[in-house]
Structure 1
Amino acid sequence: MSGISFANTAIGMPGLRPNGHQMNRSNNCHHFQMPLHYPRYRKSDYETMPEWKLDCLLNEYGLPVTGDVTQKRNFAMGAFLWPSQK
């Protein structure tokens, strides 16, 4: 069988499990997990979304949560809306 094989880079790296999640020194579950679904909001949803919800959405995808609410809205629309939706 031919093709490309990728080594599991998490093996042998201290602090990482084979699934790529970081092991915590305590029993808290604080590790990154890629969200399963792409956000399905419309432009009008982002324009009226409260700041706390924008913060949660951006944080969930590992995106920066900085600036004022207008900057966060513009960033979210640029990141998650297709060009035809803008």
Structure 2
Amino acid sequence: MDTLACSEVNAEGNSKSLNVAPQQVVAEIRNSKEEYPNGFQLPLHYPRYTKLDYEKKGEWKLDMLLKTYGLSFVGSLEKKRAYAIGTFLWPDQL
């Protein structure tokens, strides 16, 4: 089975490498409602990607980005990309 190389940073700023199966990423996204019961969770930094960046991102990267903000989306990769673009880009960036 393929795994995804990810890193996890703890509160002290130390990073450790993780190998995660894509199914685990999807399962974690589905559980995000439990982690963020009020919905949207605003991290410290807003994503700084262009429309082209979102169009090139792999599905697991989009899933991780959405999870970071307490969002989840179930659908095709193209619909997930459109959702991320609509969520994170200002109208003048489209």
Common fold: TM-score over 0.5: yes
CA RMSD after TM alignment: 1.7
- Unaligned regions of 5+ residues in structure 1, if any? 1-30
1:49 to 2:57 alignment: yes
- Structure ranking higher on relative contact order (CA contacts 8 Å, 6+ apart): 2
Q: Where in structure 1 do 4 or more consecutive aligned residues deviate above 3 Å?
A: 31-34
Give the length in aligned residue pairs. Answer: 57
Counterpart-to-counterpart distance in 2, 1:41 and 1:66: 21
- Unaligned regions of 5+ residues in structure 2, if any? 1-34
Structure 2 length-normalised TM: 0.55
Report percent identity of matched pairs.
57
Q: Computing the radius of gyration over CA atoms, which structure comes out larger, 1 or 2?
A: 1
**Per-residue CA distance 1:41-71 (angstroms, 9 max, x = gap):** 0000000000000000011111123111111
